[in-house]
Structures are given as C-alpha cells and as structure tokens.
Structure 1
Amino acid sequence: ERMVREIFATAREKRREGFMPFLFIDEAESILGTRRASRYSSILSTLVPMFCSEMDGIDSLNDVVIILASNRADLIDPAILRPGRIDRKIKVNRPNKEATREIYRIYLTNDLPYDGALAKEAENIGAAIEKLIDRFVTWQFARRDENKFLEVTLRSGRKEMLYRADLLSGAIIASVVERAKAMAIKRAIANAGKENSPGLPEGITEQDLQASFNAEYIENDIFPPSDITEDWLKLVDYDSDNVVKIAPFRPLNADRPSPIGGVI
C-alpha cells in the first residue's frame, strides 16, 4: 500500500513540474485482482479501493497516463476496468506471419556470424538474411503434422487443431534465435583447431534455427507442465465455457509420453 501511495505521489509531483507522467504496471492482475473471500483477498480488498481512490478520488489524477499490462485481464477487478478509469482496452494478439518476420528482423541482425553458404545466396548479407527469414517463417507456419501442437475439443463435439505457430510469441522467437546462436558457438568450439573439417558450417544456419524451434516446443519449458485445461486456456484464444478438453498433440511414433488432457 505504501508503494502504491508513493508511486502516485511521484506522478503528481512530476505533473506539477510540467511533465506528462506515465505509470506502467506489468502483471496488473497480481496486485489488482478480483476481490474474493480469502486470506490473500484481504490484501486486495484494501489495495484495489486505494488504487481506485488514487485514480479518481478526492485528489483526482489529471494529466497522468496509467497503463496496465496483463495476459489475464479477466482476473483484474472490474472496479479498476470500468469506464472513466481505464478508458481504452487494447488486445495484443499473437504475431501473424508478417509480424513474425518483423520480430525475426530484430534478432537476426547483420552483425551475427552466418554460415558462408547463406551469405552467397544474395548480393549482400542483408538480402541473404531476408531470404533466410522468409524461408524459416514459411517453414514455421506450414500446416504439417510436425507442427501440430494442441487438440481442442469444443462442447459441440467439434475438434480443432492448433499448430506451433498459433502459440508463437516474441519471447519464443527470441529464445529460438538464442538457441541457434548457442548451437553455432558450440560447433565452432568443437571444430576449433581442426584443419580437416570441410563442409562444416562456420556460423548460424537455417538448420540451426529449425532445430532450435523444434527444441523450444519439445522441451515444453514455456508451456504448462500439467494436464489442467484451465492452464492451457490461458494461452489460447478460446472461451473457457466452450471448451471441454485440451490435449497436447503427440505423434504416434514420437519417443514421448502418450497424450494427456484435462476435462472440465
């Protein structure tokens, strides 16, 4: 509570100095969640009203921009989100094909070491990277069995398949590039001092990116480890009332556990 008061006090002070303060609160549901009858909610029952009074109470907050970020907006208390407090609600969707290309351009820069074969594909390294990104993104978004990831069963009985690209995010893309760079570094270290190693790539390759993308999903570090449907619904744009079951897709010939699923 003290920190909330101090944040708003600082914003008012900056406003009086002639600045336009911006308050950015990430994971807003963690401190502004819906109030319920529980021990944890005893904190929210005082924090939420305080936050509301700071926004539009006796000493109303003018000329201050408040931005709340959350991937679970449904858990934020309705009193916070009512018109007059949070006036604009903007949903950031997962990147489509073109947006994915744009994000890869941020991480696959000209100064990274690429395999010589890639550099020869175009007149300059920038054009070669563009070709690499275009091929790789097309490969990621291909509707093939290897890219199947989740099977969603709706109450109507209809089943829908979600592919890996349907769950892409900027964080996953960044991690894929980091994995690919690590692969190239390990390969360079292993081949250091070896004069007779013709044909071995000396930098990042398209195969490195593909292997990194596969590893990101196979290891499942970024996805719920449980079989609880509610956990998976946080990641997919489905109405929870319309979903009966979500089961991670596992190819029959894969050396992994059989499909699991949760029922609600």
Structure 2
Amino acid sequence: MPTSVDLQKPSAARIYDYLLGGNHNFAVDREFIAKILQIQPEAKRFAVMNRAFLRRSVLFMVQQGIRQFLDLGSGIPTVGNVHEIAQGADPASRVVYVDNEHVAVEHSQLLLNENDNAVMVHADITRPGLVLGDPAMRLLDFSQPIGLLAITIGHYVLDKDDPAGVFAAYREVLAPGSYLALTHLTDDFKQVKGDELTEMMKKSQNNVQARTKSVVTGFFGDFELVEPGLVTTSQWRPEQHASPGDNPEADGLYAGVARKK
C-alpha cells in the first residue's frame, strides 16, 4: 500500500534525496544516514554514481529513438529528473513516474502540475497489475517502444514479493524495441557491507536485499543487454571527459540496459 509521511522512521526516498543534496528530508532521515555512513562510507558515492547512470541511460534511450518512459520507484524529484533529461532532448517526450512514498508523490505532483507530458502515479510497484491499470498509463502508447526504468528499486523488492515475477510482468507488456534500465545493490564486493546495510534498513520504512550478479541479470529476462553488459554504475558507458574512478566496486550497484527483441 502507498506509504504516508512517517516522521518516526526514515524512508529510502528521503535518504536518497539527502545523499544527492536535496532538501525534501527530515531529521530522522539525516540521523539515519549518519549511522549508515559509519558502516558504509561509500553510500554517498552509491547515490551519486547511480544518479549519473540514470542520466546516461535515459540519453542513450533517447538516441535510440525512445520518446516515452515509465520510471518505477522514481523517488523525490531532484536535479536531473527523467522528464527533464528526456524533454530537454525532445519536448514531446512523455514520462510516467511511479512511487509509493508520500513525500515523493506530493513533490512530484507539484513539479509536474503544468507539464502535460509527465505524470506521477501513487502506487506500489510490486503490484504491476494495479500500476499498469492506472488511468495515468494512457499517457503512454504500449504498442510503441518504451524506456522502462528500474533504478535502485529492485533491492527493495524482497524475495517474498517475487521480484522475478514483478519484473517479468512489466517486461511482458512492452513492445519490441523497448529498453529496460536497471540498477541494483549487490554484496558481491567485499567493500559493500550488504549484511550490515540489510540489518540497518530494517529500522527504516524500506527493507533491502542485496543480490548477486547472476540474480540481477535474471531480472532482464530475455532482453538483450547492450554493451558493456551488467557492470557497476560508473563503468556503464562513462562520458569521455569523466573519470569512472579506479575502484568500481565502491559503486555498490550493478547497472545495465537491455533491449526487447
């Protein structure tokens, strides 16, 4: 069910907003991330590199002719939202955002109030039938290719909620030529304190589950990964003038983009 504003427990969306330098967060979120940073000092890098990947993946899809996007677990709007990136390239680009965090929904709706080509849906992404059946989906033409974005959302879908089935349901409705961009927390690397982060997040509104490369790859189904495949966020098509860094394991997240044949 959609969450309401809870000032007693931190939320993933507000934590991410804080890590990216946003101001749509509360004391409980800031106190929590201070504890997270003691366990995982690279947490800010996780967020920054992830946000940079979002931008590159959207621009890549735009270059492939994609002009409509479905952003699952979109979070609180901050600099470089999907509609800003896509509509900056083509003002006719259409975007549907989906999130269940109250603050994320409220601020997104305010931001998009005068944007006819972007809309926010308040829903739980683990219920694809309800999400895809929402009237707002009329903004998208599912007979044409869509860019599906699942950025830092998969690790919030616990095994009991059948993440493979959730991703399959969204992939199934997409037309050939569609793309799926995905990032996911992993504990494949010693530098990532997966067990500790999992325990810490149990004190928040959002539990997490880090997964291996093979499991994350499975979420793409039979979609074909584009080069360079599933890598860490900074390693996915870094911009020529940018240094991807010499320690990709500190990214903490796998990232990839795949195309539906």
TM norm. shorter chain > 0.5 = no
TM-score by length of 2: 0.23
Q: Which has the higher helix share?
A: 1
User: What is the TM-score normalised by the length of structure 1?
Assistant: 0.23
Q: Which has the larger radius of gyration?
A: 1
Higher relative contact order (CA 8 A, sep 6+): 2
